[in-house]
């Protein structure tokens, strides 16, 4: 009996391998949205959240305020979109730094130091993220937590590797340790914002904080 080729197999294979193409209108909308995001990111990074107006963002993108509102409901939604995109990029930078050779402490500090290096030039944006986290609605807070998950994952993955390699105790509470380290990482931005701390001071302090946080979790073998 001859094998019978199923007619759907080739079609399904083609549909999976071929990415959907955007028509001109869709492509133009994507470009417009990206221009708005780029202009918003620049203004948020330079001024923070409140001083950056939709009018100024539109001007920076070279379009009308109507074009901005056609892509984003309000400034809050635009800010969240910028935050989400930047957190993914930041986590990728930190993940690459954490892949370096060395102890768990060394890899953690490499990742956290890379995070500081990439974000200090946008300090007003970081301040805006922290400030808004105290006053935003619950739904927005949940979205912000989702946005920072990739960064937390870098810390968690590094700590889990430390457990596997025997540097940290098998019963170490990795989730709690990750949250404590991230909270310390975030709190140090106040030093940069109000005390003028540079990279060297931030990383030195972060090293001391990591030592304290991990003190009870270090394997004694």
Domain 20-72, CATH = 1.10.10.60
Bridge partner residues of 218 (DSSP):
168
Residues 20-37: tens digit of each pLDDT: 676 777 777 788 888 999
Cβ distance 79 to 147 under 8 Å?
no
| 36 burial level (CB within 10 Å; 0-12, 13-18, 19+) | buried
pLDDT the model gives residue 221: 61
Q: What DSSP letter does each residue of 48-93 carry, written as one string?
A: -TTT--HHHHHHHHTS-HHHHHTT-SSHHHHHHHHHHHHHHHHHHH
| 61 burial level (CB within 10 Å; 0-12, 13-18, 19+) | buried
User: Is residue 163 over pLDDT 60?
Assistant: yes
Weakest-pLDDT range from 4-8, 108-112, 156-160, 202-206: 4-8
Domain boundaries, the chain: 20-72, 74-215
Fold held by 74-215? Tetracycline Repressor; domain 2 (1.10.357)
CA dist 53 and 76 (Å) reads: 11
Residue among 70, 80, 186, 91 nearest 139 (CA): 80
């Amino acid at each position: 009996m001859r094998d019978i080729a199923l007619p759907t197999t080739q079609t399904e294979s083609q549909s999976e391998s071929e990415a959907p193409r955007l028509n001109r209108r869709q492509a133009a909308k994507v470009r417009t949205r990206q221009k708005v995001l780029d202009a918003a990111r620049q203004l948020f990074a330079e001024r923070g959240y409140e001083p950056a107006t939709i009018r100024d963002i539109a001007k920076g993108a070279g379009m009308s305020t109507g074009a901005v509102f056609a892509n984003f409901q309000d400034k809050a939604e635009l800010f969240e979109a910028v935050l989400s995109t930047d957190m993914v990029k930041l986590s990728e930078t930190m993940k690459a730094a954490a892949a370096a050779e060395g102890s768990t402490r060394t890899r953690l500090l490499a990742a956290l130091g890379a995070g500081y290096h990439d974000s200090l030039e946008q300090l007003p944006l970081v301040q805006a993220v922290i400030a808004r986290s105290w006053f935003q609605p619950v739904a927005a807070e949940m979205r912000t937590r989702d946005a920072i998950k990739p960064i937390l994952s870098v810390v968690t993955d590094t700590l889990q590797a430390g457990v596997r390699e025997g540097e940290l105790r098998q019963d170490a509470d990795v989730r709690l340790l990750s949250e404590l380290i991230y909270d310390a990482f975030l709190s140090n931005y106040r030093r940069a914002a109000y005390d003028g701390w540079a990279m060297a001071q931030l990383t030195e302090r972060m090293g001391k904080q990591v030592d304290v946080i991990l003190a009870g979790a270090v394997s004694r073998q």
